[in-house]
Chain A
């Protein structure tokens, strides 16, 4: 049984809260310095962010962000920096859209097929980085960044008429062939706009992530490798295999990132498919400390910030302030976690020290008595 440490939990929550408070202060300073009134801006953001249509928007955005955060977190838990989630999800969504557009099967067959395609493509793209790391010693940080750019080139090449591209009727937009009606994912009929059904998949993925990492042998090995490769090796874990496997898993989850948009919203892959979500995923995984619930909160916060600042544009502010807020939050969060970690370590050490001293004192007392 793990002993429940109230103070430790408090410290864990204190860090992100502190970071968010600091981030809002810095943002207020930036706004004030540029001659805009900061606090009414936050008021506007908050008022607008809790409206019902905003809630739907935030949930839908968060679904995508949550999956991206999970994909990154799988790597982070074993000290692998999968910067390539960005390329993996775009390439995966592109090929999944192409496969989905080419087939007309019943939905029960076609939707799993599309999702599977995405996961396989994502896993393979990430697997390249994993294999290069274990066989050739190439840092996954650099290789995944290069693979991101190569993915962009591949999509640019294939998304053309006569290849996998398809010109719409107006003749202005090239996309993959739109998915047939049968492969549209279900939606929750909320008003005014529906909540995407893919949120269910995201929740399942979150539970699977939690279960695998904290309740299975594999998850234990993975975390061990993350904390000390040599210790894991000594206890019989095949570290190279773990690196490739977790890259594959990370890539497969990354493959899911584009799916909410593809199956619930756009139904095709075109030039305006959302980009850069892989990097958002990194920020969110950092924010949520690789914990499934933490990542969910981070994803919701990101969705809220984007929704709220979108409204600011109509109130005489610039919506680009969202980048400043998010950037400051990420930087503050990583620093705050480290400060809290050090404080916790110190606390633990002094506690152990005090206990040892007390024990020593007791022992010497006993000796005196027996003497």
Chain B
């Protein structure tokens, strides 16, 4: 058959970029060292500037609560992109999660709400899978379409379902649902009080550690615990099972996977539907834990930030968790007298930029070094000339952090080889 010879040749097998060529993988002790270093830097900032809230239990607890929906959205992105489907529709799936979560949540129990939110997100994921896998629509275009559709759909049904009859009597309106019951929060008895008492002394480092741990063990929603478990499960399933290996092979080289007998379409479908479910759970967390009600525009672009957190985390769950934590921390600053804390953190930014500048100059890349030094000087002037940061800029902090971090790290990242590419069954023959 000569006709088949004209079809596109299969892409060459991806080069293995492991070993010394790529970036060395962070081992567990190194991660601990990084965490300790960050904590040390934060306590230094707190001690120097007197912005006590930077490492307080309240701040950390708020950061955790803000990080969970971002992390879950990112986890959704991770599942989809590991199977080679870019999912920018996470935002829309999250919206479906907030809506269905609150809809079932106020009528029955919040846990049924969680389930409904997951199912809502999965429906969004299914739609994305149909469009991208079966019909081969460009992934980003399909994702945007789903975001538009999810917004339109929930806006219409919110007015229909939350503004009538019993719902309206219980506080529903066209733009918000009646409140749902609480999901139980747990506190480790004894430990958090003890940590709190240490924190109040404002000792250097010790109080900061106490604040951070205190924040992580006080008033933790069971849904947060579930989210943490999902991170571990995701890592285990994707990296330690043959199912996960096959799924990831669809994202690296679907043609090779197909030749080994993997049903690529099925794996992509499963991955994208799970992805939607994760995003839906993230949405349900927003409407059931963060605020107890559905609110129009509640997601506030967290689906996109989740995607950014995943990219920041180099398409791996551990990195994603760190990214989500960072964004959650920045998000939480905005909730709690953020101006002062962000102002204090400017000092940290100055130090980081100065170190970066010195490193770049040492490595003889003078332009980058000079740019970093100039920015560091500008931020320092800003820090010295003001007492606080205007609230508008506090709210922009997560986005600026995302941009900064991505522009510093994007070149070191490696996404799945066939991520975002169209694939049709049998195209490699």
Contact = CB atoms under 8 A, between A and B. Distances in A.
Interface in A64-81: 81
A279 B400 CA distance: 21
Which of B144, B146, B402 has most chain A Cβ within 10 Å?
Answer: B144
B173 to A, nearest CB: 13
- Looking at chain A's contact residues, the main secondary structure is helix
Given A138-B407, A141-B140, A331 B392 contact: no
Given A335-B135, A338-B137, A146 B402 contact: yes
Nearest to A335: B135
B400 to A, nearest CB: 6
A149 B137 contact: no
B164 to A, nearest CB: 11
Interface stretch (A7-15, A93-101, A252-260, A316-324): A316-324
Contacts of A157: 390, 392-393
A146 B400 CA distance: 7
Given A142-B308, A150-B400, A335-B135, A136 B159 contact: no
A83 B137 CA distance: 18
B148 A330 contact: yes
A321 B156 contact: yes
A23 to B, nearest CB: 10
Interface in A22-52: 30, 34
Interface residues of A, number: 46
A86 to B, nearest CB: 11
A280 to B, nearest CB: 9
Contacts of A142: 304, 307-308, 311, 402, 406
B131 A324 contact: no
Interface in B73-111: 88
A331 B160 contact: no
A69 to B, nearest CB: 13
Contact of B149 (A136, A322, A328): A328
B127 interface: yes
B410 interface: yes
A286 B159 CA distance: 28
B301 A323 contact: no
A279 B142 CA distance: 13
B159 A318 contact: yes
A171 interface: no
B152 A322 contact: yes
Nearest to A342: B136
Interface in B381-414: 390, 392-393, 395-396, 399-400, 402-403, 406-408, 410-411
Nearest to A326: B152
A141 B88 contact: yes
A264 to B, nearest CB: 27
A185 B147 CA distance: 35
Contacts of B400: 146, 150
Contacts, number: 131
Which of A81, A149, A282, A318 has most chain B Cβ within 10 Å?
Answer: A149
A337 B395 CA distance: 40
A286 B155 contact: no
B153 interface: yes
A323 B156 contact: yes
A320 B154 CA distance: 9
A278 B211 CA distance: 43
A154 interface: yes
B364 to A, nearest CB: 18
B137 A324 contact: no
A331 B143 CA distance: 9
Given A142-B402, A318-B160, A286 B152 contact: no
Given A323-B152, A327-B151, A335-B135, A286 B141 contact: yes
Contacts of A149: 301, 396, 399
Which of B149, B307, B400 has most chain A Cβ within 10 Å?
Answer: B149
A320 B148 contact: no
A106 interface: no
Nearest to A158: B392
A340 to B, nearest CB: 11
A146 B127 contact: no
Interface string B294-311: 000000010010011001
A153 B392 CA distance: 5
B392 A156 contact: yes
17 contacts: A132-B407, A139-B410, A141-B140, A142-B304, A142-B311, A145-B304, A146-B308, A150-B400, A153-B392, A154-B396, A286-B141, A286-B144, A318-B156, A318-B159, A320-B155, A323-B152, A324-B149
Given A132-B403, A337-B137, 20 more contacts: A137-B410, A138-B410, A143-B406, A148-B301, A150-B396, A152-B396, A153-B392, A156-B395, A286-B145, A320-B155, A320-B156, A323-B155, A324-B156, A327-B148, A327-B151, A330-B144, A331-B149, A334-B141, A338-B136, A338-B137
Interface of B: 3, 88, 127, 131, 135-138, 140-142, 144-153, 155-157, 159-160, 174, 301, 304, 307-308, 311, 390, 392-393, 395-396, 399-400, 402-403, 406-408, 410-411
